[in-house]
Amino acid sequence: MPQRIKLLIVAAAGIAIGAAALAVISATSHSGDGDVRVLARATDDGRTEVAVQQSHDGEWGEAVRPTQRFLSADATPGEWRASSAVALESEEAIEGAYVGRTATAAMHGADGESMGTVTIIQGPRGLLIQARLTGLSEGWHGFHIHETGSCEPDFAAAGGHYNPTGIGHGVLSEDGHHPGDTVNVYAHADGVANADQYTVDATLGSGTATLFDADGSAIIVHEAPDSYGDAPGAGGRVACGVIVLDHPDS
C-alpha cells in the first residue's frame, strides 16, 4: 500500500518574488522514498503554477500538481500566500494505484422512484463525474457531493456539502470552494439531464479528499440552481444517491 506523505507548506504572505521566478520548499518525507519538495510560482500572465517532486536515487522525479489550491484566483503575481496542509500520496500511487476505479450513485426521489445514475471514474489527476438523470423539472438544478453516504430516512441524512478541509462555498468565491461544489446541471422538458463534470478536488482512493471516508458520501440534486457564491441557494433536495464503489476489492 502506498504510504501517505504529509507536508505542511507555510509561506509568509507578502514576500515578493519576481513574476515567473521559481521558489522551492524542501522537506524530508520520512517514507523511505527520498526527499519531497514543493515548487510554486506565479507567471507573468497571472496564472499560478504549483507542483510537487519526489527524489529517487538522487534525481528529482516528475513534477506532480497537488489537488489543493495554494493561491486564490486573484493572487498578485510573485506574491507568496499561505497554503493549507497538502496530503500527498507517493508518486507511484498518484499516477496509477487508483486510476480506472469507478463508483456509482443510484439516484432516487423522495418517494423512492428511480431518477437515474451518477458514475464516477478515477483519472490520473482527478474525477470524471457522469450524471444521467431523469424525472427532474425543466431548468437548472444544483448538483453536489454531500458529506455522508446516506439518503435515509430522508435526504437530510446526507449532511452538508463534502468539505474535508473546511474551505468555503462557491466556485466563484474569491476564497476558493470545497470539493462538494460541482456545477449545476440542466434538465430539459422531458426531465432528462445528461452532464459530465470533472474535479481535481476529490478522489476514489485514499487520503484527506477521499469520497470513501468513515461515513461515505452521496450525490444530491436540488430543486433550484446553485448560486456559485458564498451561500448555495439551491433550495430543497429532490434526488439522492449513495456513492458506492463498483469493485471494493480493486
When mean pLDDT is compared across 41-50, 62-71, 119-128, 193-202, the lowest value belongs to: 62-71
Q: Does residue 73 have a pLDDT over 80?
A: no
User: What torsion, rounded to 10 degrees, do the Cα atoms 86, 198, 245, 152 define?
Assistant: 100
**Same domain, yes or no, for 68 and 125?**
no
Is 39:63 a contact under the CB 8 Å cutoff? yes
Number of domains making up the chain: 2
Domain limits for position 26 = 4-97
pLDDT of 85 over the 50 cut: no
Question: Residues 9, 33: one domain?
Answer: yes
- Residue 241 and residue 195 in one domain: yes
Cβ–Cβ under 8 Å, residues 182 and 197: yes
- Are 107 and 93 found together in one domain? no
Q: Is residue 250 included in any domain, yes or no?
A: no
Cell numbers placing 155: 435526504
Among residues 72, 97, 122, the one where a domain terminates is 97
Of the candidates 68, 97, 126, which is a domain's last residue? 97
Same domain, 46 and 121: no
Q: How far is CA 65 from the centre of its chain?
A: 13
3-class secondary structure, 48: strand
> Which SS3 state, helix, strand or coil, does residue 95 take?
helix
Residue 111 lies in a domain: yes
Instruction: Return the pLDDT at 89.
Output: 41
Tell whether 47 and 89 lie within a shared domain: yes
Q: Which of 37, 68, 97 is the last residue of a domain?
A: 97
**Residue that is written with C-alpha cell 437548472 in the block:** 140
Residues 194 and 234 in one domain: yes
Per-residue pLDDT reduced to its tens digit, 8-27: 333 322 333 333 334 444 33
What's the CATH code of the domain at 238?
A: 2.60.40.200
Residues 92 and 166 in one domain: no
pLDDT in tens, 134-149: 999 999 999 999 999 9
Q: Is residue 73 assigned to a domain? A: yes
Residue 45 domain-assigned? yes
Q: Do 85 and 130 fall within a single domain?
A: no
Q: Are 8 and 116 part of one and the same domain?
A: no
Asked whether the beta carbons of 182 and 162 are under 8 A apart, the reply is no
pLDDT of residue 45: 72
17 and 126 share one domain: no
Lowest mean pLDDT among 51-65, 66-80, 95-109, 227-241: 66-80
Residue 14 in any domain: the answer is: yes
Q: What is the CA radius of gyration of the chain?
A: 20
Q: Report CA torsion sign: 169, 175, 177, 183.
A: positive
Residues 170 and 75 in one domain: no
| Per-residue pLDDT reduced to its tens digit, 173-229 | 666 678 888 889 999 999 999 999 998 889 998 888 899 999 999 999 999 998 888
Higher pLDDT, 238 or 11: 238
- Is 224 inside any structural domain? yes
Backbone torsion region of residue 111, taken as left when φ is above 0, otherwise alpha when ψ lies between -120 and 50, otherwise beta = alpha
Does residue 15 lie within any of the structural domains? yes
Chain segment 96-141, per-residue pLDDT in tens: 668 899 999 999 999 999 999 999 999 988 899 999 999 999 999 9
Looking at every residue in the chain, the average pLDDT score rounds to 75
What letter does residue 174 receive in the DSSP assignment?
Answer: T
